[in-house]
Structure 1
């Protein structure tokens, strides 16, 4: 590292705290970043407040069908939307441009003279971009909560297994879910830093995190083995749903967090090493494809190693979705929601234990193996009522995605799981047994207990 000498005295490098403050001010001075922060702190609340007053709800989004029931559903819809679109976009606009902007403006030599330490420049820029990303994430969280509570109130939340969570439980799990998705967000931020350093003023570096997020989202739609699916850095964008079952499905979530953090560390370390080797005297630097390839290769190695470790630890080679798991999940959801329906119809109280709900599921007939995702799952749920000799039965069609989420659509009898309105504490609402969301733990054992 070069030492600058002025009047016979070695020049000091700029303090790290001052460098961080300087880089943060530079970021916040950009109109693009200001608009981004403003959108993160205002748009989610406005969206939830508006949608919460509409008769048509985003039922294709997890928790979307419950937005009239409680404001916490709106906050979770914002979380799901943020994982798919908002957070990758925030990372691209902030971390993907924090180094490249110096190339476009041709200010590297001035910055090096002022700071006199490439190491401190990198740390200051990484911390500043990370601070803006965390601030944007906090805005998405708080705005979604405020908008949801103002539009639909502070009522209990129905989870992905039909279990009802109190507002206090929901707050705790919602905060944990946002902490969970910080891991893949930091992973994409590390990739953004890597692209910004390696590709210079090229716009490819700016788009790299977003392109990676879209590619991984498309990959998650494929019927991947469990070990491969859990080794993806974006998996924690999905596994937070497991917090909203009782008991929580923590296995996939923990693996997703660890993988995301490892990706964040490796990508950031790669960006750091490339930055230290950079020739700042070359004003015509437009980045190098060779440098970005060398930076991405360790991430590929991390993914392969993760697949091997997860598979060796019991992650399995199959899809993680089998008939026994689906039946167990459907039984639990049906029992919880039947109790909810009984309460809202003012019928005699019944408990999940008294119902003894049992499900039998089949995928595509006798010629198709009963495993994996698809929209051809057909299930029959049977249950008992106290004092009754007859056994009740209800039919469901399941649309199951490769990540373990399913939508159960009631197919009769109409008086049990058909569409009809009933009087809920928040007003008229659809029959809770008509359509509902559920989730299968991809790492759970297949046996039915």
Structure 2
């Protein structure tokens, strides 16, 4: 058959129509749209803003400071100490859970709804879909961390105050410098957060189960913290993914030491690369003919 050009009226040869698969940009927009439509995601981001305010209010109303925690002795009288106290609490399980709820679900949900066959045979390639889901998961983790940090620091300073901070070495840190160090301390959480995101992605791909993808990274994080608290394992601690959560301590000492921060870059990057590589290989070899 031949078709007629609507402008010239001349016949044109009709050939087979080739349809290109969507690229990474299209996959990213689609995964972002799916994520924004989920009530769970909206609740998590809303909680990242509202929960720290409630925590600061409740802790500030306590008659006695939690002296057995880092910066707890000054938390009721100093907003910077309060923000660091909340940070010390959040790294125990809040941050791993916050990112795992999305990353641990993003691949496993395709298994839960039986949509792998439809997505991969009609929409996009495995590699494109894998990287789109990975980028969206990491972006969510960083946005959630930024909201949590901003809400905590703002609430702490407004409710408790901007008095000079007493550092870990007993030195006095003036308000402006204290603010910079508190923000930097929260910012150091980004690398281990990405590491736990990649760990959750691995469990999401491997287990094909939403509950496992969400719970496993949190449980592993708690186990790592327990192992890291044991004596006689100093050679093992730098390789634990929870160790980078403690790297900010060097910023509040005098003189400051940044060795743990450099180690956290290597540790977090190592875990991220290994987890992503394993997840990609598992997904690449998966049989999707069943759905």
The question of a shared fold, defined as TM-score above 0.5 by the shorter chain, is answered with yes
Contact 1:184 1:234 in 2 (8 A): yes
RMSD: 1.7
Alignment of 1:258 onto 2:266: yes
Q: CA-to-partner distance for each residue in 1:264-288, whole Å, 9 max, x for gaps? A: 12111211122122222123xxxxx
**Deviation of 1:202 (Å):** 5.8
Match of 1:407 in 2: none
The structural deviation recorded for 1:192 is 0.7
Matched, 1:66 2:74: yes
Distance in 1 (CA, whole Å) between partners of 2:283 and 2:179 is 41
Aligned partners of 2:96 and 2:196 also within 8 Å: yes
Superposed CA offset, 1:72-98 (max 9, x none): 111111211111121111122111111
Once residues 147 and 52 of structure 1 are traced to their aligned partners in structure 2, the CA distance between those partners, rounded to angstroms, is 11
Equivalent residue, structure 1, for 2:8: none
**Residues 91 and 245, structure 2, Cα contact 8 Å, conserved in 1:** yes
- Structure having the higher strand fraction is 1
SS of the equivalent of 1:258 reads helix
Q: Give the structure 2 partner of residue 48 of structure 1.
A: 56
Task: Name the counterpart of 1:109.
Answer: 117
After TM superposition, give the deviation of residue 15 of structure 1 in Å. 2.7
- The structure showing larger relative contact order (alpha-carbon pairs under 8 Å, at least 6 residues apart) is 2
**Aligned-partner Cα distance in 2 for 1:153–1:14:** 52
1:268 to 254, 276, 288: 276
Residues 57 and 65, structure 1, Cα contact 8 Å, conserved in 2: yes
Match of 2:107 among 99, 105, 115: 99
Q: After the TM superposition, which residues 167-206 of structure 1 pair with which residues of structure 2 at under 5 Å, given as runs?
A: 167-201=175-209, 203-206=211-214
User: Is the CA contact (8 Å cut-off) linking 1:240 and 1:253 kept in structure 2?
Assistant: yes
**8 Å Cα contact 2:169-2:254 kept in structure 1:** yes
Q: Which residue of 2 is the match for residue 84 of structure 1?
A: 92
Cα contact 1:234–1:260 (8 A) shared by 2: no
Give the structure 1 partner of residue 215 of structure 2: 207
Structure 2's unaligned 5+ residue stretches are 1-14
Q: TM-score, normalised by structure 2?
A: 0.90
Superposed, which structure 2 residues align to 1:407-418 within 5 Å? none
Extract unaligned runs of 5+ from structure 1: 1-6, 284-449
CA offsets per residue over residues 355-381 of structure 1, 9 Å max, x none? Answer: xxxxxxxxxxxxxxxxxxxxxxxxxxx
Quick check: 2:104–2:210 contact (8 Å CA) kept in 1?
A: no
> 2-side partners of 1:275 and 1:227: how far apart?
34
- Is the contact between residue 99 and residue 196 of structure 1 (CA under 8 Å) also seen in structure 2? yes
Is the CA contact (8 Å cut-off) linking 1:24 and 1:129 kept in structure 2? no
Between Structure 1 and Structure 2, the one with more helix by share is: 2
* Deviation larger for 37-46 or 20-29: 20-29
Tell me the alpha carbon deviations over residues 118-152 of structure 1, each in whole angstroms, 9 at most, x when there is no partner. Answer: 11101111111111111110111011011101111
Q: Matches of 2:102 and 2:239 in 1, distance apart?
A: 26
Q: 2:139 matched to 1:125?
A: no
Q: Larger Cα Rg: Structure 1 or Structure 2?
A: 1
> Is residue 2:287 matched to residue 1:279?
yes
User: 1:279, 1:11 → 2: CA distance?
Assistant: 24
Q: Number of matched residues?
A: 277
- 1:161 and 1:201 mapped to 2: Cα distance? 46
Distance in 2 of aligned mates of 1:53 and 1:118 = 52
Which sits farther off after the overlay, 229-238 or 27-36?
Answer: 27-36
Are residue 244 (structure 1) and residue 252 (structure 2) matched?
Answer: yes
Which aligned pairs between 1:327-338 and structure 2 lie closer than 5 A? Answer: none
Aligned to 1:38: 46
Identify which range, 59-68 or 119-128, moves more after superposition.
59-68
Asked whether the 8 Å contact 1:16–1:120 carries over to 2, the reply is yes
Instruction: Tell me the residue number matched to 1:397.
Output: none
Distance (whole Å) between structure 1 residues aligned to residue 49 and residue 282 of structure 2 = 34
